[in-house]
């Protein structure tokens, strides 16, 4: 080899059939090729590494997002469950409000009937305060507030009503409207022909005739103010009922109470007789109100 050939490499290619070929390359080429391949491998390795780390990061992010989405889904489900529960509660509340509303209407009706029966006219309650809630479904807090207010109002109203009823019943107990005995009405109240003088006279009560010993009862509750003999009336009982009412029971055969006794409405106080200025067994019954005579037939029920 010559000096010029020192930095050259000679490759002989010897095929089996054709003639031998000679290829001449510089000596640094294989080194350069090796370096180049090594560099490429390094670069590729770096790229792969970078891709892999990016992928790992991405994967982590994906996992995190998936977890987050799952949590959100679960939260959403919980919310839906809560909403459904709330809706069920609201429906129930509405049903209850309709029920309460119906009950209020029933109470109102009953109250009016009782007031009518007891003769209460100037009731303390205002008409039409209890409004129907039927057209106003209680599915909001406002609706619920209206219902609560109505119930509060109704409660107060019913308390007033009960107090008024008690007062009224107390009063009715003092009104002498119970027939004091049984029998035949033989003489009415007012001007009549006197059975003794045959002239006209004023009959201050009514006469009820029956057999001697028939029960005489108090026409209302009260306090006996007189139980004894009274000229003309014979054995007589007078009861003060309060509220200005007094009653008188005359011609009795027997007195079963004494002055000062408290009697209940319907309590037996004596027996029918014919004592005093009387033509036969009967009860002479008088009703006084504030010192004035009343026609008993206008009061007795």
Residues that bind Zn ion (CB under 5 A): 207, 284
Whose CB is nearest to Zn ion?
A: 284
Could you tell me which of 209, 211, 253 has the C-alpha nearest to residue 235? 253
Minimum CB distance to Zn ion, residue 284 (Å)? 3
Minimum CB distance to Zn ion, residue 278 (Å)? 8
Which residue's CB is nearer to Zn ion, number 265 or number 284? 284
Which residue's CB is nearer to Zn ion, number 222 or number 234? 234
Which residue's CB is nearer to Zn ion, number 157 or number 207? 207
Which residue's CB is nearer to Zn ion, number 137 or number 276? 276
Which residue's CB is nearer to Zn ion, number 164 or number 207? 207
Helix (H), strand (E), coil (C) string for 208-227:
EECCCCCEEECCCCEEEEEE
Which residue's CB is nearer to Zn ion, number 239 or number 248? 248
What CA–CA distance (Å, rounded) separates 164 from 172?
12
CA distances from 71 to 1, 60, 64, 210 (A): 81, 17, 11, 96
Minimum CB distance to Zn ion, residue 187 (Å)? 6
- Determine the angle formed by the axes of helices 28-118 and 141-174, rounding to 10 degrees: 20
What CA–CA distance (Å, rounded) separates 249 from 239?
9
Minimum CB distance to Zn ion, residue 259 (Å)? 22
How many CB atoms are closer than 10 A to CB 219?
Answer: 27
What CA–CA distance (Å, rounded) separates 229 from 251?
9
Determine contact, residues 170/183, Cβ cutoff 8 Å: no
Could you tell me which of 136, 135, 129 has the C-alpha nearest to residue 150? 129
Minimum CB distance to Zn ion, residue 175 (Å)? 22
Minimum CB distance to Zn ion, residue 196 (Å)? 12
Structure tokens at 182: 């049984």
H-helix or E-strand spanning residue 162: helix 141-174
| Dihedral of alpha carbons 267, 271, 274, 276, sign | negative
Which residue's CB is nearer to Zn ion, number 241 or number 284? 284
Minimum CB distance to Zn ion, residue 285 (Å)? 8
């Amino acid at each position: 080899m010559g000096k010029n050939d020192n930095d050259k490499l000679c490759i002989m290619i010897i095929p089996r059939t054709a003639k031998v070929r000679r290829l001449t390359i510089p000596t640094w080429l294989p080194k350069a090729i090796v370096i180049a391949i090594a560099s490429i491998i390094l670069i590729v390795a770096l790229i792969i590494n970078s891709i892999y780390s990016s992928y790992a990061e991405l994967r982590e992010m994906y996992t995190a997002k998936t977890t987050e989405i799952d949590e959100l889904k679960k939260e959403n489900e919980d919310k839906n469950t809560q909403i459904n529960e709330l809706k069920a509660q609201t429906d129930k509340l509405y049903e209850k409000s309709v029920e309460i509303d119906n009950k209020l209407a029933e109470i109102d009706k009953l109250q009016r009937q009782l007031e009518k029966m007891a003769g209460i006219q100037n009731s303390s309650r205002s008409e039409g305060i209890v409004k129907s809630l039927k057209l106003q479904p209680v599915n909001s807090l406002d609706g619920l507030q209206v219902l609560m207010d109505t119930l509060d109002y109704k409660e107060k109203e019913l308390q007033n009503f009960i107090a008024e009823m008690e007062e009224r019943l107390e009063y009715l107990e003092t009104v002498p409207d119970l027939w004091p005995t049984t029998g035949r009405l033989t003489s009415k109240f007012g001007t009549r022909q006197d059975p003794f003088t045959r002239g006209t006279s004023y009959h201050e009560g009514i006469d009820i005739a029956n057999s001697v010993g028939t029960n005489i009862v108090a026409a209302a509750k009260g306090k006996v103010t007189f139980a004894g003999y009274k000229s003309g009336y014979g054995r007589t009982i007078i009861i003060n009922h309060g509220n200005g009412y007094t009653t008188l029971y005359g011609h009795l055969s027997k007195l079963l109470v004494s002055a000062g006794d408290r009697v209940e409405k319907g309590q037996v106080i004596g027996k029918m007789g014919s004592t005093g200025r009387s033509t036969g067994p009967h009860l002479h019954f008088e009703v006084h109100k504030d010192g004035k005579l009343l026609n008993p037939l206008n009061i007795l029920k």
